[in-house]
Chains A and B, each alone.
Chain A
Amino acid sequence: MKKLLSLFGFLVWSWNVSAQVVLKVTGEVNTPLQLQASDLKALPHTEVRTVDKDQKEHHYSAIPLIELLKKAGVTVGGQLRGENLVKYALVRAADGYEVLFALPELDPEFSTRTIVLADAVDGTPLPAGLGPYRIVVPGEKKPARWIREVREIEIRFAK
């Protein structure tokens, strides 16, 4: 009986862990997103090669942020005009650190670089402290916006 109970407890625990919301996309969106790890895994990924803080080139596997914005119904592409140009994405990390991107920075119709949400580097998942999700901004000289442990992307209007 005790064994059965422990098995049940383990199953509940593992369900909780696997069902945990790991990334939210909120704010000025048509469809707020509460994504689990499996949802993110299923999104289109791209490969990004960029030089990291250690001055070496690394190979990131990542979701272009534009894919998340499209999924949430953010005003990108043809809708990124007029007052929508003063919208921004506030990206928030587990520790409370926050950085900001103006929407045109994330939209391939405006920008030539692809800002991404990475989940693996050089073939392995991002380690604790950096991952599971980290923003990578290829070509940015200072990595202060390579925000680690991303938990939420909030779309806001500048007021």
Chain B
Amino acid sequence: MLRWLILLSSAVVLAFNLRNDTPYTLTIPASFGHRYTIPADNPMTVEGVALGRFLFYDSLLSKNNTISCSSCHQQNRAFTDGFALSIGVNGRTTARNSMSLANLLWVRHFFWDGHSPTLEDQALIPMAHPDELGLAPEKAARKLQQTAFYPPKFKRAFGTDSITPLLMAKALAQFERTLISAQAPYDQYLRHQYTLTAAEKRGMDLFMRTSNVAKGIRGANCAHCHGGAQFFQNVFHNNGLDASPLDPGRQEVTGFDADFARFRVPTLRNIAVTGPYMHDGRFRTLEEVIDHYSEHMASSRTLSTDLKGPMHLTSSEKKDLIAFLHTLTDTEFLQNPAFSNPFLTQ
């Protein structure tokens, strides 16, 4: 009887070890809060995150093995690529600018127009798109299945070595949820470990405040849309880029005329390294962005109510704002070995 019990418990231990689904513990910055959802059918595990990281950096996921997710989402640029529009597997450009992948755990609608509700849903879309990775996820799964490298990794992460697009998406989503950026000088300032320079402090005040002429308060009120610890709100706005916008943006998703030319408000964390800016990458520098909000707002029927009327910031106010925006650059995030290319560190 005892022998049977020992045998049984060894089998249980062996089965557990084969799967190795060690829970992955995320460190959530207290100021970010816990308003996020990790799907019940995709709990994060050390093995799942590790697999997702390999997939993120693997050009096998593209049609001609030339590019990977990391081509347009480079860590040292806070997972953007430095181009106005990215270049896909066929040499053609994408329709919109590559978005930063920081703090996606708190994003509720993915892509510039918010057409994906989860990271799992999002992950396979650029894979299949002819102007991005250009490979049907089913074909990508078959390519991975034929390697000696991936089937054991899927077995450890998900208990099966039968690779499917769904499991690929789950692994990618798990890795992307680990990309948390909360160690910038601004965060250190909040913890009383960094003293803002005078310009950074003036810039922060402008960023956070609403203008109040009666009280003599100057404010750019950037925080209205880019506020909160993550420096974005989960909202969509037409920020006055064109009097006759060409890209319908959010309207294509909802069908509402009121959503015409509205786009997701992106995070400003690491904004100094994620240019060019806007959904079409039209602005090369932060100076151009601030000039736009200050003086060049184009009126159209869906222009955000909060952006009507020019701000007319002075040149020193613009410099102060940019100084503050630089305090959001999180060097630790940009260099964190856990987010880097695992094929280079194996």
Contact = CB atoms under 8 A, between A and B. Distances in A.
A129 B304 contact: yes
A51 to B, nearest CB: 17
Interface stretch (B89-97, B230-238, B268-276): B230-238
Interface residues of A, number: 11
Interface string B85-110: 00000000000000000000000110
B36 to A, nearest CB: 15
Q: How large is the interface on B (under 10, 10 to 19, 20 to 34, 35 or more residues)?
A: 10 to 19
Interface string A121-150: 000000011100000000000000000110
A94 B262 CA distance: 10
B259 interface: yes
Given A95-B262, A128-B258, A148 B305 contact: yes
A97 B305 contact: no
Given A20-B255, A128-B258, A149-B258, A96 B236 contact: yes
A20 B251 CA distance: 14
Nearest to A16: B255
A110 to B, nearest CB: 27
Contacts of A97: 233, 235
Interface in B274-310: 301-305
B63 to A, nearest CB: 34
Contacts of B301: 128
A96 B258 contact: no
Contacts of B343: none
A14 B251 CA distance: 17
B34 to A, nearest CB: 12
Contacts of A149: 258
A129 B305 contact: yes
Contact of B234 (A94, A96, A128, A130): A96
B149 interface: no
Most buried by B among A96, A97, A148: A96
Most buried by B among A20, A95, A97, A148: A95
Given A94-B258, A95-B262, A149-B258, A130 B233 contact: no
A128 B305 CA distance: 9
Contacts of B236: 94-96
Contacts of A130: 305
B256 interface: yes
B305 A94 contact: no
A96 B256 CA distance: 13
Given A128-B302, A130-B305, A94 B259 contact: yes
A149 B259 CA distance: 11
Interface in B107-123: 108-109, 114
Interface in A43-64: none
A97 B304 CA distance: 13
Nearest to A22: B256
A130 B304 CA distance: 10
Contacts of B303: 129
A96 B236 CA distance: 7
A20 B256 CA distance: 9
Contacts of B237: 95
A96 B305 contact: no
8 contacts: A95-B237, A95-B262, A95-B304, A96-B234, A128-B258, A129-B304, A129-B305, A149-B258
Q: Which 3 A-B pairs have the closest CB atoms?
A: A129-B305, A96-B235, A95-B235
